[in-house]
Chain A
Amino acid sequence: MKNSIENKIAFCFAVSLVMLLAIGWLSYRTTTNLVATENWVSHTHEVIATLESGSAILTDAETSQRGYLLTGDEKFLQDSKNAQAQITDWSGKLWKLTTDNPEQQRRLTELNALISERLAVLNDRIKLRQEQGLQAAANAVALRLGKQAMDRVWGQITEMHTAESQLLVQRQQAVQTAAKNSLIIILSGTVLACAIGLVAAMMIRRDLRLRQQAQEELDRFFTLSLDFLCIASSDGYFKRVSPIVTEILGWSIEEFLARPFLDFVHPDDKASTLREVEEQIVSGKKTLNFENRYQHKDGSWRVLSWRSMPQPSGLMYATARDVTDQKRTEEKITGLNADLQIHTARLEAANKELEAFSYSVSHDLRAPLRHVDGFVDLLGKHAAEKLDDRSRRYLKIIGDSAHQMGVLIDDLLIFSRMSRTELRCSKVALDSLLSEAVNALQMETKGRQIVWKIGSLPEVEADAPMLRQVWANLIGNAVKYTRTRDPAEIEVGCRDSGNGEFVFFVRDNGVGFDMQYAHKLFGVFQRLHRSEDFEGTGIGLANVNRIVGRHGGRAWAEGKIGSGATFFFSLPKTKTETKT
């Protein structure tokens, strides 16, 4: 854009220059022509004058001859002779004058012949007068031969005169035309050159205005920039800085330019700053995100993040941003992250310990129980005859207790696993999980009359083994606590709560519970029934609570002693809906 304007201006100037040169050349040529033509005009005038002088000489010769013929005075004769001699000179002069014009020279040759003829007649009459006297000469003159010859001479001279006059007119006309044309060309050329010059001048003006505008915009950009812009010189001083420096560092521009920039840099950052600058000058590579601390006028330090670009001129164009607050925040975040990492590591360690503990429980606690149970059994067989009923009862209690403890350990392990293993969610059909749980209870339901009412259940995004455990616990409880009912009724269903959750329930017509202890139902090892009445470890519902909680839902229960219980749990359905 800028280039094209410059090109256009140069082109305009070139054109007007060429035109002015052409006009100059034309003026020179016209003037030269005019001078030349003027010369020719005077030449023509000279020729005409010469022609006329010739006439005078001839007239003179004739007049002198007539004088001699009449008077016989020798003085006339001498005059005539002089005149004749002059004619030769005249003819020579005329010949010279007309060398440029072959036509006139041809006429001159003819004229010379005619003059010679006339002079011959003239001299013949003179001879007659000298030899035979006046009468003879007068008779000869009366023959008018001289007059006829003279008339032809006059005619020839007149012809030459006319030709020369015509030439004069032509030449004058040519001069006038040339002068007129030149005038037109010079005038129009000058006007055109002026016009082009004017256009160029206007273009320059416009370009200048645009440049000025661009410069102003650039200046505004420089003065209004929120980043600190500067130009640094290789002598270690800033040459120019944007006014924001006052806002960032407190110094006025004058104060800032008055000292080498290293003066403002934190002592610990001077070496790295110098290194960065030198490296940049040597390599010519740009600097990105170099940070150092600059002193604020109030004595505090501000962290600036620099980006700069070295120039071959040795100047450095740089921008800086005050990242002090950002730095502070970053440090805070880094600190928090470190804390978090420590906490996470601690948690992980604790989790690992717990895992190891669970593993030990699983493996090592069960072994002695098995031994108690096994050896009690072996003892029972081995000493069958020696033992009385009481001893046998003791052995049975020992066996049952070991067995109960085994169940307890297993339940605890399940509870621990449900808490610490990762959720592996997939789309699961709750109705099929439910039927799996019901089938697993066949041992307990054998021989009992149970009326199942199972509603339709949705698919949810969840960890399948965990939800199977939920059903197993809830259905298992329902079956257990309806043991005294015939028929037992167990209803399972689901409803949409309306606030993005599915609410599932398991309702039974069993022994129920006292609502004032409802809050204890979901705690670990919390039981509302004696184990002589209903066996159990008090972990099942804690499991349900934990699993449902991990899925983002809740569990609760309603019941009344003797009138059955309903256990609810909710699961968020957002996941389900977005996935399907």
Chain B
Amino acid sequence: MAPLKRILLAEDNEHDVELTLAALEEHNLANEVVVTRDGAEALDYLHHRGKFAGHANGLPVVVMLDLKMPKVDGLEVLQQMKNDPHLKHVPVVMITSSREEQDLVRSYELGVNGYVVKPVDFQKFIESIKQVGFYWAIINEPPPGTIKHSG
């Protein structure tokens, strides 16, 4: 049984996963992250089904979504979450390479809580991810039903 974690990261690119975790490590948040490699897996985690079946109930403090993922893409995950009464209060932040207006507009239409463009510059990238993690996992007061501490 996988442990419950406070941050859900959905990212298909393993290098990006590694860099993101490296960034979050600076706030000692890396251990708090559960990584899913596509949208379907992310939804399974949130619904406690598939390989995440049998999990204790509890929601992450923030979901970090990549836009382009195999199977179910980030926008779809976002849409399903915001349409689900059980999940719609969970903060979602898009972490993406896309600066395209259509992606921005669509994300905000669907009710995204944050939109971060991954900078090419690694220092800036680390800075961005650190701040996102710091804000949502430490400063922000999550909605009721959220896991306060990782198990």
Contact = CB atoms under 8 A, between A and B. Distances in A.
Contacts of B19: 370-371, 374-375, 378
A366 B118 contact: yes
Contacts of B120: 366, 369-370, 373, 402-403, 405-406, 409
B67 A367 contact: no
B67 A363 contact: yes
Interface stretch (B35-43, B50-58, B80-88, B93-101): B93-101
Nearest to B16: A367
Contacts of B96: 363
B113 interface: no
Contacts of A370: 16, 19, 97, 118-120, 122, 125
B15 interface: yes
A413 B99 contact: yes
Nearest to B67: A363
A537 B57 CA distance: 52
Interface residues of B, number: 19
B13 A373 contact: no
Contacts of B15: 367, 371, 374-375
Contact of A362 (B22, B100, B125): B100
Contact of B123 (A364, A371, A377): A377
Contact of B125 (A374, A409, A413): A374
A363 B97 contact: yes
A359 B102 CA distance: 10
Contact of B121 (A367, A375, A406): A406
B12 to A, nearest CB: 10
Given A374-B125, A375-B15, A362 B118 contact: no
A376 interface: yes
B123 A367 contact: no
Contacts of A402: 120
Interface in A357-407: 359, 362-364, 366-367, 369-371, 373-378, 399, 402-403, 405-406
Interface string B112-147: 000000111111010000000000000000000000
Contacts of A373: 120-122, 125
Contacts of B118: 366-367, 370
Main secondary structure of the interface of A (DSSP, over half): helix
Interface in B1-42: 13, 15-16, 19, 22
A50 B16 CA distance: 166
A359 B16 contact: no
A363 B97 CA distance: 5
A466 to B, nearest CB: 13
Contacts of B16: 367, 370-371
A159 to B, nearest CB: 141
A363 B68 contact: yes
A373 B121 CA distance: 6
Contacts of A363: 67-68, 96-98
A399 B119 CA distance: 13
B97 to A, nearest CB: 4
Contacts of B122: 370, 373-374, 376-378, 399
Interface in B58-117: 67-68, 96-100
Most buried by B among A371, A376, A410: A371
Contacts of B125: 370, 373-374
Nearest to A421: B101
Contacts of A377: 122-123
A362 B97 contact: yes
B14 to A, nearest CB: 10
A363 B15 CA distance: 14
Contacts of A374: 15, 19, 22, 122, 125
Contacts of A367: 13, 15-16, 97, 118
A362 B121 contact: no
A370 B67 CA distance: 16
B97 A366 contact: yes
A367 B97 CA distance: 7
Contacts of A410: 99
Contacts of B98: 359, 362-363
Contacts of B119: 370, 406
9 contacts: A359-B100, A363-B96, A366-B120, A367-B15, A367-B97, A370-B16, A370-B122, A378-B122, A405-B120
Which 9 A-B pairs rank lowest in CB-CB distance, beginning with the nearest? A406-B120, A374-B122, A371-B15, A377-B122, A373-B122, A374-B19, A363-B97, A366-B97, A369-B120
Given A373-B121, A405-B120, 6 more contacts: A363-B96, A364-B68, A369-B120, A370-B16, A376-B122, A377-B123
